[in-house]
Amino acid sequence: MAKFVAKTGNEAMAEAMRQINPDVVAAYPITPATEVVMIFAKYVADGLVNTEYVPVESEHSAMSACVGASAAGGRVMTGTSSQGLVYMYEILPIASALRLPIVMCEVNRAISGPINIHCDHSDTMAARDFGWIQIFSENSQEAYDSLIQAVRIAENHDVLLPTMVTTDGFIISHCLDKIEVLDDKDITAFIGKDRKPNNSLLDLDKPTTLGSIDLQDYYFEHRVQVAEAIKNSKKTIIEVANEFAKKFGRQYGLIEEYKLADADYAIVALGSTCGTAKVVIDELRAKGIKAGLLKIRVYRPFPAEEIAQALSKIKNVAVLDRADGWAGQGGPAYAEIKAALYKSKTPPKMINFVYGLGGREIDKDQLAHVYDCLKNIEQQPDVQYLGVRE
């Protein structure tokens, strides 16, 4: 029977992992994601799961072990953050190229240097083009629900791609939140007891080769297959979300619109900031200001068409990036949203705010300031840093 409990984001993710009961988890601890696999390791030690837990010597080794276990046909999970994710970068595109449905708990944290252990999205954004599905969470409940859905999405035979579900470091990972934990039997019924792979390295009757060299003759075609798979995964993501909503009552999509239908001014954001933005929007609405929010939940595959449609009637839009584009055309989300709106007949006027780097707080006053800037958008620079001391 489902029950309401108080859990941090890390605890919520570990609880979802326990209910998923993967065949293999290989991981190396890193702040602020350490608790996810630490709690899960206790479940293993207490015999609450049937998982083979592999405590490796590095994150590079963790992802390598995950690749091997998934290639053998196992249901495989891991968790990491920041420099740990960076250390996995060499192996991440190998996992997607081999079409291995590994599921990762990724706790967003700034990339060094300078050394920093707090939240921004630079680690996940730097991995956005490695062929992994990326799902951002606004709160612990969404992280828990998304992790369960991620197994179904990744293992779908029309997808077969690794998937990462992210939370914001410390803001979600270490803060208590009330969440509904579903019944173990319901989760098993939803995801299936076992993964059903097309191929397995352990199948002696159907031998396969993985990881062989792939030169000019076929490399291009194989990369396009991955690109097509992640583009077409939108359909599966939505189907799984709809089934989850039908069974458990919580609806998710590629994006979420909050009071956007009649909005004059809107911000676009990802992750925990969306929760704060909703409070500000409610306060502005009470003053007669038509403010709205477009929340991007799924960043890969990038929901370009859905974003363009959602913003088609908005006058002025501010895109909030918790990662910098390093002298590119603004932050990563801003650049991609501008591209998505390129063919729009009536594109909104847009500005970009890079904010919250290294865990710098974003508060209601700052978000209210963003909406104020949208009122006189013509006087605003295209890209500016929100909350930085000058």
- The range of the structural domain enclosing residue 149 comes to 3-248
DSSP state string for 126-191: HTTTSS-EEEE-SSHHHHHHHHHHHHHHHH-TTT---EEEEEETTTTTTS-EEEEEPPHHHHHHHH
* DSSP 8-state symbol, 215: -
Tokens of 41: 């390791």
What residues contact 301, with CB distance under 8 A and at least 6 apart? 133, 230, 231, 233, 234, 237, 254
Count of C-beta atoms within a 10 Å radius of residue 349: 13
In this structure, the answer to whether residues 166 and 276 fall within a common structural domain is no
State whether 83 and 230 are in the same domain: yes
Same structural domain for residues 337 and 235?
Answer: no
Same domain? For 209 and 274 the reply is: no
- 301: preceding bond cis by omega (within 30 degrees): yes
Task: Provide the CATH number for the domain around residue 365.
Answer: 3.40.50.920
Same domain, 227 and 280: no
Per-residue pLDDT of the chain (390 residues; tens, 9 = 90+): 899 999 999 999 999 999 999 999 999 999 999 999 999 999 999 999 999 999 999 999 999 999 999 999 999 999 999 999 999 999 999 999 999 999 999 999 999 999 999 999 999 999 999 999 999 999 999 999 999 999 999 999 999 999 999 999 999 999 999 999 999 999 999 999 999 998 888 888 999 888 889 999 999 999 999 999 999 999 999 999 999 999 999 999 999 999 999 999 999 999 999 999 999 999 999 999 999 999 999 999 999 999 999 999 999 999 999 999 998 999 999 999 999 999 998 899 999 999 999 999 999 999 999 999 999 999 999 999 999 998
Last residue of a domain, one of 248, 271, 288: 248
Q: What angle do CA 134, 138, 139 make, to 5 degrees?
A: 115
The predicted structure's pLDDT at residue 192: 97
Residue whose C-alpha is closest to residue 167's, from 154, 184, 183, 150: 150
Among 199, 220, 248, the domain boundary falls at: 248
The CATH number assigned to the domain holding 50 equals: 3.40.50.970
Structural domain count of the chain: 2
- 228 and 355: one domain? no
For residues 12 and 179, is the Cβ–Cβ distance under 8 A? yes
Sign of CA pseudo-dihedral 329, 88, 237, 210: positive
Question: Measured between alpha carbons, how far is 289 from 193 in angstroms, rounded to an integer?
Answer: 50
In a shared domain, residues 98 and 131: yes
End residue of a domain, out of 219, 248, 277: 248
Q: Is residue 48 located within the same domain as residue 176?
A: yes
Count Cβ atoms within 10 A of the Cβ of residue 1 and give its class: 0-12 exposed, 13-18 middle, 19 or more buried.
exposed
pTM above 0.95, yes or no: yes
Q: Are residues 147 and 295 in the same domain?
A: no
Which pLDDT belongs to residue 210?
A: 86
DSSP conformation class of 347: P
243 and 270 part of one domain: no
| Whether residue 265 sits in one domain with residue 211 | no
pLDDT for the residue 95: 98
The token pair that represents 230 in the structure block: 């992640």
Examine the domain organization and report whether 203 and 290 are in the same domain: no
Residues with Cβ within 8 Å of 220's Cβ and at least 6 positions away in sequence, in order, are: none
